[in-house]
Amino acid sequence: MSHTLFDTAPDFSQPIAVLKHCHDRIRKQLETLRKLLAHLPRHGADAEAQQAAQAVLKYFNNAAHLHHQDEEHNLLPMLQATARGADAALLAELTPAILAGHEQMDRDWSIIKSQLEQIANGSGSALSADDVARFCEAYAAHMVVEEGQIAPMAKRLFSPDQMAQLGSAMQVRRGILPALPTSQVPEQHAAPVNHTVADGVVLADLRLDYGRASLTEDDVLDDPIAQFGKWFEEALHAKVNEPNAMSVATVDADGKPSSRIVLIKQYDHRGFTWYTNYESQKGRQLRANPHAALLFFWSELERQVRIEGKVVQTAAEESDTYFYSRPVKSQIAAIASRQSAPIANREQMEANYDAVAAVSGEHPLRPAHWGGYRLDPERIEFWQGRRSRFHDRIVYVKQADGSWVKERLQP
């Protein structure tokens, strides 16, 4: 068995070529694995077998997972944000199988890894032909799909800026580039300022240049609720962290604003709905001023959605339906907590919970002070990050007759 020591990789300015290079290296290691399988019955775990096992272990322990992460965290989400029509349909069909393939290969590798470790240290010589065949076949099929479908789509759809974004993310993942841009520590004679973070990184310099997608007037749907639904589905498919999390900003009677993160529970033509304690800070502020603003930020897709409008309470029946769909412990917590009110300590909170649980049993009743709010939108803005802060912004404004007018805003 022979092992290539030098393997020249393409430059990261060609990220799709780098991904193909990763595939070629994987193929070499799979071939080494097959040769090892044939070698062991004749020679056992000799020096050559140990060297081969060590080479395979080194690659799949240290490098293969980076290739999976390139796809899961960058390539596929970028394609999902960019693809339209037939491309989007094909991507929706292929992506679940690709992700499932990653999980299957990881499981198969954990089985083979333990066998290779024993071969590598000379303590064993058993390598399952079935395990090797399943692992190699899964990788081979996976690479065929990516090289035949995903890579050509990326090369056809990605702009130069998007290719640069993908290449930069791959370099960050491999430690070639720092995760965040840094600046020099301010000179000692400069006046002291409070804008540094740690290790000399200046807060004003912490910026990420966007470039995964664009947004034109022709890209968006005529109905902003439908457009929100489209983007929300794309956030789900891209596995955005908590895509249903939104900031709710309210203003009190004195005009002082505050905001917090809540989870949206429903959206439709009537508006955007969440649930909370009506006696909380936001509840009191909404009684004083029923106007509010919502903000969704999906950093993985470099997107924001800003929504402004008037808030009303949902009907009691809707609040009941959602309250009783929650886990019993969450129902009890909603009853026990006087949200936003001060309390002495955690122990008192838990004592309140226990007291409510003892009374409520398995069937708590929704308290009158807990229920839903729905924001009826008057203005919805879709924001897509672009290079050099020259972002795309399309806003919809509701007219007196209920129709929507959309226009582009400057960044």
As annotated, the binding site for FMN includes 260-265, 275-276, 282, 304, 339-340, 383, 393
* C-alpha dihedral (214, 215, 220, 225), degrees to nearest 10: 100
Tally Cβ neighbours within 10 Å of residue 100.
11
- Helices (DSSP H) in 150-280: which residue ranges? 151-157, 160-173, 224-237
Q: Which residues contribute to the annotated binding site?
A: 260-265, 275-276, 282, 304, 322, 326, 330, 339-340, 383, 389-391, 393
Instruction: Please tell me what DSSP assigns to residue 345.
Output: -
Element (H, E) at 32: helix 15-43
Of the CA atoms within 13 Å of residue 34, those in its CB half-sphere come to 11
**What CA–CA distances, in Å, run from 183 to 188, 198, 204, 387?**
15, 11, 10, 20
Copy the structure tokens of residue 93: 């069909």
In the set 107, 174, 338, 389, the catalytic residue is: 389
Residues within the annotated binding site for substrate?
265, 322, 326, 330, 389-391
Q: For strand 291-298 and strand 303-313, is the pairing parallel, antiparallel, or unpaired?
A: antiparallel
Say whether 174 is catalytic: no
Closest CA to 245 of 227, 269, 265: 265
Q: Which positions are annotated as active-site residues? A: 389
